[in-house]
Amino acid sequence: MSQQEISEPGNAGAGLFEHYRLIAARRTMVLICLFALMCLAFLMDITAGPANLGLLDVLKGIFSPSSLDQRNYVIIWSVRLPDALIALAVGGALSLAGVETQTTLNNPLASPFTLGISAAATLGAAFFIVVAPNVGGFSQTLMLPAFAFSFAMMAAMAILTLSTLHGGSSTTIVLYGIALVFLCEALTAALQYVASAEVIQQIVFWNMGNLTRAGWTEVAVVSAVFALVLPLSLRDVWILTALRGGEDQARSSGLSVNRIRLVVMIRVAILSAVAVCFVGTIGFIGLVGPHIARMLLGEDHRFLVPGACLTGAALLSLASCLSKVLVPGAIVPVYIITAIIGVPVFLVLISWRRKEASWQ
Partner 1 sequence: MAVMSVADLHVRLSGREILKGISLPEMRAGQMVGLIGPNASGKSTLLRAIAMGNGTQGGISLGGKPVTAMKRAERAANISLMPQTPPLGSTLTPFELLRSYARATNLGLSNAQLGDRMGELLGKLGLLPDAHRKLNELSGGKRQLVGMCLAMVNEPKYLLLDEPTSALDLRWQLTALSVARNYARSREAICVAALHDINLALRFCDLLVVLKDGCVAASGVPEEVIDSALLADVYGVSARLERCSQGAPVLIADAANEIGASA
Site residues (vs partner 1, CB under 8 A): 1, 3-9, 11-17, 19-20, 23, 106, 237-239, 241-242, 244-246, 248-249, 251-256, 294, 298-301, 355-356, 358-360
Contact 209, 280 (CB under 8 A): yes
Please count the residues of the chain. Answer: 360
User: Measured between alpha carbons, how far is 48 from 75 in angstroms, rounded to an integer?
Assistant: 11
Distance of CA 124 to the CA centre of its chain: 20
How far from each other are the two terminal CA atoms of the chain, in whole angstroms?
40
Residue 9 CB, shortest distance to partner 1, in Å, is 6
Other CB atoms within 10 A of residue 246 CB? 12
Q: Choose between 52 and 253: whose C-beta lies nearer to partner 1.
A: 253
Helices 12-47 and 55-63: angle between axes, nearest 10 degrees: 100
User: Measured between alpha carbons, how far is 318 from 337 in angstroms, rounded to an integer?
Assistant: 9
Q: Choose between 80 and 294: whose C-beta lies nearer to partner 1.
A: 294
Residue 305: C-alpha distances to residues 30, 34, 55, 285, 355 (Å): 13, 13, 31, 14, 20
Residue 55 CB, shortest distance to partner 1, in Å, is 38
Contact 144, 158 (CB under 8 A): no
Residue 295 CB, shortest distance to partner 1, in Å, is 9
Q: Choose between 218 and 300: whose C-beta lies nearer to partner 1.
A: 300
**Backbone phi and psi for residue 281, each to the nearest 5 degrees, phi listed first:** -75, 125
Residue 315 CB, shortest distance to partner 1, in Å, is 21
How many CA atoms lie less than 13 Å away from 178 in the CB half-sphere? 7
In the 8-state DSSP scheme, what is residue 84?
Answer: H
